[in-house]
Amino acid sequence: MSGRSRRRARAAGPARATRVVLLSLCALAFVAVAAAVWVGARLAISYGHVSAARAEASSTMAAVSADPASAGSRADRLQELGGRLAEARDLTGDVVWRSAEFVPIAGANLRSYRLTVEALAETVEAGLAPVVSDFARLESAVSLSGRSVDTAAVSRTAAGLHTAEAALDRSRATLRDAAEGPLVPQLAAGVRQATELVDSLHGTVSALSVAARIVPAALGADGAKSYALLFNNNAELRTTGGIAGAISELTADGGRLELGRQLVPEQLNPPDGAGLAVTPEESALFGERLGGYIQNVNLTPDFVRSGELTAAHFRAALGTDLDGVVSIDTATIALLLAATGPITVDGRELNSENATRVLLSDVYLQIPSRDQQDVFFGELTQVMFDKLFGSGTSTVGVLTALGTAAEQGRISVWFADSALQRQLGGGPLSGPLGRLTDRGAPVGVFLVDGTAGKMDTYLEGTFTAACHAAEPAATPTPGTATTRRTVTATATLASTAPADIATYPWVVTGPGVPGLATGGIRTMVQFAATDSLRPTRVTIDGAEVPILTRMIDGRPVVVAEIDLAPGAVSVVVADFVALPTRSPTVDRVIATPTATEFEHYAEPGTCD
């Protein structure tokens, strides 16, 4: 080859390389544009399906959550809704879309959108549509006027509801995943709305699923059952809502309910000095009084233990073996009256608007004798029972009210049958300690009155929970954890007692306890946590105090006591550290249900 040819070849090499690079870049650009157009077109079509389904989804799911029996009449609309969401899901699942999810920022939004659509599609296809007939069957199985439940019909719904509950659990997990990443505000709002819809439906399906598994056996499908009904008065707080001032026997046989004797504490309490035995841990936190009076069985946040103690009192005093205990608080009466309409007790009309005031305050100001108060609450139980199971009462309304009360922690249940008790595990009926979970609610704040009066009518405040990680003061050895993950629970309590409270009847202000002025409010604040946490610090109004803590049912419980004069405010804070291998999340705070104003706040986050 001549020198000229060699020079031309050398010159052509870079030129060809440049052309190859340019052509490659053009090809990549074309592919990128094509992919963007493809994804954009499918996003537009998918979004059209989702938008068309969104309004229908909102109204349908809200209606079904409020009235499960209405699902049957919405079957065709549910099928159409499921079809739209399935088409939207199919448009977001191809390889081009999945590849686009790796693009910075935009990819996170594409992924979030896909996950949201997948969650909604599964919610309708697997969590709702298959069980619409079960909803209607459950509603027809309950006959309030007949005081009975068709236990066989309820049993037939259990499998389908359990499968639907599992599908909704998956949808909720998918939506939690969809909420992660740098999302544009519109999409973030859409994910929140979808989460609220699915959460609401999950609450309904989950409650019905548990009921379908428990109700047949609990209502005596295999033989008569005997229960104690504890009516908790929020004016004198205990962990489940209030002191058990009125107690009733309740029997169930073959699905039929009957209200038995109305009892007062004096019929069940042991003689002085002959109280039930308590454990050393219980004695250290709650004192021997936990076993001394039936009014104190719910000093502990462990409702399994409350149930066992109640059963022991019944056995010792009446010779009755209980199959279970149901605890319900004053505020639930107001919720039920919204469904049943007003009742009249001892010449007083009670309705959803005035029931809380009458039951927490007026009774004690207007009825001076404790014996007469006991008669009033006994009559209230009978009248309320007759009203609930009277003709014309809305089944859906009553079940909705009970569902709301359960979600607020106002109803707790214990079964002597361990198999039934396991079905309650972690659910809204399992009691204060049982409702704690590392998945969102690792800490709880529970209140117990120490005034021995009815002063908690004047107690208000807030409960908060948050988790955070901070650098430790020192790292003992190389390679150990460098952060200390802490969950903080706070109780802010305020007395709204009037200035002349000291002139009120002693049954309101209490008989007098050492160190507390008349009209003051003494409160034991209990902080409880899952077994993933351990208490490290307690402060009252900013000052650190010694920690009094014990393990109750394998979980740490911390107690602190405060006194409030009228108008005073106090802040109690407990810090818990997470064990090295645990990562609890916080999105809510479990607390004693009250009938006064208490706000609940949680700073959502994962302690990792």
482 sits in the region (left: phi over 0; alpha: psi -120 to 50; else beta) called alpha
- Dist. CA 288–CA 273, nearest whole Å: 10
Place of tokens 């009360």: 405
Place of tokens 């209030």: 242
Percentage of residues in the chain having pLDDT higher than 90: 56
- Dist. CA 62–CA 58, nearest whole Å: 6
- Counting Cβ atoms within 10 Å, is residue 15 exposed (0-12), middle (13-18) or buried (19+)? exposed
- Convert the pLDDT of each residue in 398-443 to its tens digit: 887 888 898 899 999 999 999 999 988 888 899 999 999 998 999 9
Of 488, 485, 478, nearest to 581 by C-alpha is 485
- Counting Cβ atoms within 10 Å, is residue 147 exposed (0-12), middle (13-18) or buried (19+)? middle
- Counting Cβ atoms within 10 Å, is residue 131 exposed (0-12), middle (13-18) or buried (19+)? buried
Average pLDDT, the chain: 85
- Convert the pLDDT of each residue in 121-134 to its tens digit: 898 888 888 887 78
- Dist. CA 260–CA 228, nearest whole Å: 9
- Convert the pLDDT of each residue in 360-409 to its tens digit: 999 999 987 888 888 899 899 999 999 998 877 888 788 878 888 988 99
pLDDT band for position 299 (50/70/90)? Answer: very high
Cα-based distances in Å from 198 to 116, 170, 408: 11, 10, 19
Q: What tokens appear for 417 in the block?
A: 């049958």
Q: What was the pLDDT predicted at 192?
A: 86
pLDDT band for position 66 (50/70/90)? Answer: low
pLDDT band for position 14 (50/70/90)? Answer: low
Please give the model's pTM, rounded to 2 decimal places.
0.83
Residue 481 has pLDDT above 80, yes or no: no
Residue 17 has pLDDT above 60, yes or no: no
Give DSSP secondary structure letters for 292-339: H-GGGTTSSS-HHHHHHHHHHHHHHHH----SEEEEEEHHHHHHHHHH
Distance between start and end Cα atoms, the chain: 70
- Dist. CA 369–CA 361, nearest whole Å: 14
Percentage of residues in the chain having pLDDT higher than 70: 84
